[in-house]
């Protein structure tokens, strides 16, 4: 028995299409659930109501949510992405030591002196770096 002869190409196409639509539906459902939790304008009861509506009646709930609140979903996603980027940038600045207040010449010279005292740089490298800081 050869399965290829029993399953026509159009049937395979429809199967692939239905699987794609099912995966797309799951992604949309989780995106909406994430948006419900991310929204700061909704209170606890509003979030609970929307969540129950989307979970108990998924097709109707998702369509109503997209119609009622879909316009602002993109704005909330952009705000969330900007907040994550700003938090990451602040972390990098703090970790790298280039934040506000850490760029004074005195602090840079002190750090440079510590590096030289550890023996990580030579006296010539210290003098060149010192000249860069002071000029």
- 119-135 pLDDT per residue, tens: 888 888 888 888 888 87
Whether residues 42 and 52 fall in one domain:
yes
> Nearest CA to 68 among 88, 46, 89, 83?
46
SS3 121: coil
- Measured CA to CA, the distance from residue 51 to residue 43 in angstroms comes to 12
Whether residues 27 and 57 fall in one domain:
yes
Whether residues 79 and 115 fall in one domain:
no
What's the pLDDT tens digit per position in 15-70?
999 999 999 999 999 999 999 998 888 899 999 999 999 999 988 999 999 999 88
pTM over 0.75: no
- Measured CA to CA, the distance from residue 124 to residue 25 in angstroms comes to 65
Whether residues 110 and 57 fall in one domain:
no
Q: Containing domain of residue 47, as a range? A: 3-102
51 contacts 33 by C-beta, under 8 angstroms:
yes
- Measured CA to CA, the distance from residue 55 to residue 34 in angstroms comes to 13
Whether residues 26 and 53 fall in one domain:
yes
Number of domains in the chain: 2
């Amino acid at each position: 028995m050869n399965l290829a002869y029993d399953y026509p190409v159009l049937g395979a196409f429809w199967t692939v299409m239905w699987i794609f639509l099912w995966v797309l539906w799951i992604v949309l459902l989780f995106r909406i659930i994430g948006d419900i939790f991310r929204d700061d304008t909704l209170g606890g009861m509003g979030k609970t109501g929307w969540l129950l509506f989307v979970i108990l009646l998924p097709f109707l709930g998702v369509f109503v949510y997209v119609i009622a609140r879909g316009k602002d979903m993109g704005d909330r996603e952009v705000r969330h992405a900007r907040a994550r980027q700003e938090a990451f940038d602040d972390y990098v600045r703090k970790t790298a030591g280039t934040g506000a207040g850490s760029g004074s010449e005195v602090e840079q010279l002190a750090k440079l002196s510590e590096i030289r005292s550890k023996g990580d740089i030579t006296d010539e490298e210290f003098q060149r770096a010192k000249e860069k800081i002071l000029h």
